Structures are given as C-alpha cells and as structure tokens.
C-alpha cells in the first residue's frame, strides 16, 4: 500500500519551500514532511544530503518540486 504523497508546495518570499500539501489534504511543514518520509508515512520522496551534510527532500519520480502546484 502506498503512503501519502506530496501534491503541492508553499514557498516563502525567497522561493524556499516551507510547507507541503499531502494527498490526504494535510498541510505540513518541511520538517514534518522530512520526518514522515523517514517514518515511511510519505512515499515518493527521498532524503538526500548536501555536501555540507544537511539533509533535504527530493521527489523520486520527477526532477524537482517545481512541477508541483502552489498550495495557495
């Protein structure tokens, strides 16, 4: 059974993703999304690591979250 998917994004004025909408309609923060990906609640997303060691989310099936619509 597939978990929830990330279906939309909300960005701050700098263009950084600050929250997501899930396929169940929940609005969750970037940090909560990362935790739920780790826990297997959200699928279709992987956690990568930047050169400086900080983790970030990346979609598994598309090249970036830019393909997702805006939440608001």
Q: What is the pLDDT of residues 6-52, one digit of tens each?
A: 999 999 999 999 999 999 999 999 999 999 999 999 999 999 999 99
pTM, entire model:
0.90
3, HSE (Cβ side, Cα atoms, 13 Å):
12
Q: In angstroms, what CA-CA distances link 26 with 30, 48, 52?
A: 12, 23, 31
Pair 33, 6: CB distance under 8 Å:
yes
Q: What is the pLDDT of residue 18?
A: 97
């Amino acid at each position: 059974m597939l978990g929830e998917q990330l279906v939309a994004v909300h960005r701050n004025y700098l263009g950084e993703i600050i929250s997501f909408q899930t396929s169940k309609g929940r609005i969750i923060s970037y940090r909560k999304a990362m935790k739920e990906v780790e826990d297997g609640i959200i699928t279709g997303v992987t956690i990568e690591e930047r050169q400086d060691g900080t983790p970030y989310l990346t979609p598994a099936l598309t090249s970036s979250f830019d393909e997702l619509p805006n939440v608001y």
